[in-house]
Structure 1
Amino acid sequence: MIAEERKMRERAFHDRRFGVADGSRPVLETAYRLMLPANRRYHQAMEAVRPLGRVLDYGCGNGDNALVFARRGLDITGIDISRSGVEHARAEAARVGLDTEFQVMDAEDLDFPDNTFAAVSGKGILHHLNLDRALSEIGRVLTPAGRAVFIEPLGHNPFINWYRRRTPEARTPDERPLRATDLDRVRTYFQDVKFTYFNLTTLCALPFGDGETFDTVFSLCGRLDGWLLGAFPWLGRYSWVVFMDMRGPVKPSGRP
């Protein structure tokens, strides 16, 4: 019952979000400018999985990401709990002449058979879910050599957490940014896991708006992040987001 209530709240929040215009969240748009390096890494990974076969966009929202990759030739299917999001995605696919498939579906209980996808991808979805159920389902629908790539927010930085508390309207009541213990659990579901952290000190660029000063501070802090995270890997948990590259799902029969 508790899980179903959580899903109902998530569905209602995102139905409201995607039922209005394009579903963007203005309160977060400034912060999302910091995501360029992480998004670049994500797009590189998606290009790498293109020749492998069918891809699942796990938590596709309004379909924007899936349609970008479909235009590039990926065989991609999108699922989301929000009917409004999926309806928007289908309408946009029809408008631009793509036959990309979008389905309303529970990410913790996928309707696909085992070993359906060569890759599963998502942005900002796992922290909305029961992580063990989500990872188990992702591993189940992936082929044995499959790859999963995700960008997720982290929950250790006190300044970011302060900002989250100040902007509750921008997120659902049940979402929970990932913590180090969650990342440790990820390793039990995949044989090969790599985490790359983004936005440690680059957050300092936010107060400088959109101009040249922002670009300068962002660039300098980006270089500082590279040095800090290289010298002190444990600082990664205090970054804003993590890029997760997971390969070789551990199938249920092989888990202790």
Structure 2
Amino acid sequence: MGCFGFLKVMMFVFNGIIFLAGAVILGVGIWVKVDSGSILNLLDKIPNAPVELDQVSNVGYLLIAVGAVLLILGFLGCCGAVKESKCMLLLFFIIILLVFLAEVAGAIVILVFRPLAEQLIRKLGVEMVEDIQKQYGTNDDITGLWNTTMDTLKCCGFNNYTDFEGSPFHSEYNLFPSQCCKSTSSACDADNTSTSPVPGCYEKLVSLIDNNAVVIIGVALGIAVLEILAMVVSMSMYCHIGSKHNA
């Protein structure tokens, strides 16, 4: 097998994986939009939810769009390699290039506007704390959503246990949720929280992101390298096919 044959096989295998990944993501996106019991619909039912949360309902559309793009990429790459089609390979190269440029632009925006994003999260946090103090313990959706979040992240409230002061749950039982307690598995009083407070979910989320920043950056760089290799291979095949036709 010559160098060109090897490139054809690699293009076919690589883009076959992209095609299958696109099909899976597209299926998940369609499921998210169709399934009425998904978490997105649960968020839509939360009364007095922050306006910004409405954007979460677009996740299904985003997955559908990403899946469709990957399907197109996989199809163009596979067929372009097998049929030695310059047109398909050129389209594949252009789409990969646009995706790569969009990712670079997105990374720059994240770095530049990170403080703004933190301010937005803090703003959302104020409204979340208000919902806790008004509805935690009486509204099943609010109560269940916070319990799940606290169980998953091992945290307590948005800031800390004081977010629950004045809530229906605290007013009725004079206790805090079990997730805020250090030494018991059931609800507890302030003495069991203030002596060694459980971190708030905002602090835990920021810590989680910071601790995994190296992994996130590594994955992003890995994807960027694959995209660059895909562009190099597609252009190599494009030029080789062009030289064969001109010979």
**TM value normalised by structure 1:** 0.26
Structure number having the greater strand percentage = 1
Larger CA Rg, structure 1 vs 2:
2
Structure number having the greater helix percentage = 2
**TM value normalised by structure 2:** 0.27
